[in-house]
Amino acid sequence: MNLKSHQNAGLFTSSHYNAVSVTVAVAPSCTLLSELKQIMTHTKCLGPCRPLWLYRASQLTPHLRSLQDGHYTLIHIPLDLYSALLQPILRVLLPQTQTLKASKGEPEHELEGLNAESQHGFLNISVTPMECSIVCHSSWAKNVFEPAIQDLPKDLAKSVSISKDTYLVLSVISAGMDAAGRVMELTSPLALAGIPIFFITTYYSDFILVPSKDRQTVVKALLARGFELADNDSNFVSPAASIHSRGPSQTNGSNGAGAPPLTPPPSTIAELQVRTFDLLKKRSVAPYVEDNLLLVQCSGRETSQLGGELSHTQRPSLSRQVTGNSHRQTWLDNIDAKLYTAMISALAARPRFLSITLAQEDPPSLLLDKSLLGLFGDSLVGDTKTNLTPIFLDLESLPFEATGIVCGVAGTLVQDMRTGDSAGLSYLSTARAGAVILDCEQSILALEILKPKLFKA
């Protein structure tokens, strides 16, 4: 099964937290969705890893590190098959179910991608108005999802896609840079190097998904942009580490050890943006908003391994340590059962929008339809007052090898929006779509910028 989606479908970034401080901006309540719709009423609307750390010398630049060893797979599930495949989705969300296989001697219980407490190194489950998209360890895709898909009638199974390429997941800890700045800082060198990416940002961290086969090219592109690399705690400094210019001359278009791209990568950001919008317009990709869909970004409360509650105002990944207790804790000892019950309830309700990200060193992160908040009670922390509006881009028609969409779209908005208006720009990447996420007033401005570039006359 081929994943026909665009690998560089997008990203989702947050400006709520960074490695130093908490900065939550409260936006006015959204009464502007009607204006968003009015803007568009005249137009028909049509998205094996070794430990790796990359960081940059500047304190205002993100620090990059890998999550853990492993390959990750992207899965597209059409919404009309969501109910049929909800059981494997829940099995992945609740990994302790695999321990039931151990007593039977079945190999499935030894699935990779879990830590000692049976928690996922990385998992993203996103349900949007377009699709259900899963990013999980390739072992789970093969042993949990593939059998369930094979049980479907053949004509239905063909509509579900599992990526052939696997992905390396890099975790990014931002340090004093706003969301829009991180988007451009991290995606532009990869786009200019012709690297297809996914970029998912949670309440605490940014995550970059890059093809495993392009690892060397990714490192080369980021080193050329002034990042420094530490591999297995053995540091080395790139000759370009002291260069902090954002000019495109520091990143070349070579494809490293991989095969050269069919079309040479652009040499400048301006050229990349032109190519991006030409491609989107040619494929009739146009932005649209869903009626009465408002999102909020929150985090779960996590219980530490010692049984004490972690404060959501502290970054757990900076202080969490493995204890000397030899007792093997189970998955249930290290999760908030109330939060997981609410997440299961939300998934069972077939939500209009719910994106759950689990990462080994962070509490669970959720971007969700605001109408779902009642299911979660006090199990969520964060700003539930700021209303976010997603602007969707259907990228199903784009070729799989297309690159530069993230940088092209986000870069144009950052460039054309008024100073400060793009600081909270977010972009959620799913298998076959992307969503630009801004507060309501910013979304109106973003649509006014995107409309003439994407809508056909």
pLDDT top residue among 215 and 264: 215
Dump pLDDT digits (tens) for 26-57.
Answer: 334 444 555 544 544 444 333 333 334 444 44
Residue 75 has pLDDT above 80, yes or no: yes
Q: What pTM did the predictor assign?
A: 0.77
pLDDT band at 365 (very low <50, low <70, confident <90, very high): very high
Task: Name which of 122-136, 148-162, 219-233, 422-436 the model is least confident about.
Answer: 219-233
Using the Cα atoms of residue 102, residue 347, residue 303 and residue 376 in order, give the sign of their dihedral.
negative
Residue 359 has pLDDT above 60, yes or no: yes
Question: What is the mean pLDDT of the segment spanning 312-333?
Answer: 51
CB 437, CB 428: distance < 8 Å = yes
Residue 288 has pLDDT above 50, yes or no: yes
Distance separating alpha carbons of residues 352 and 132, to the nearest angstrom: 10
CB 42, CB 201: distance < 8 Å = no
pLDDT top residue among 133 and 332: 133
pLDDT value of residue 399: 72
Question: What is the mean pLDDT of the segment spanning 106-123?
Answer: 74
Q: 12 exposed, middle or buried (CB, 10 Å; 0-12, 13-18, 19+)?
A: buried
CB 428, CB 367: distance < 8 Å = yes
Three-state SS for 301?
Answer: coil
The answer to whether domain 11-293+383-454 has CATH 3.30.565.10 is no
- Which of 138-147, 255-264, 278-287, 416-425 is the most confident on average? 138-147
For residues 86-102, one letter each, b for 16 or more C-beta atoms within 10 angstroms of the residue's C-beta and e for the rest, the string is bebbebbbbbebbeeee
pLDDT band at 267 (very low <50, low <70, confident <90, very high): confident
Q: Hey, what are 3's tokens?
A: 């994943």
Q: How many residues are there in the chain?
A: 457
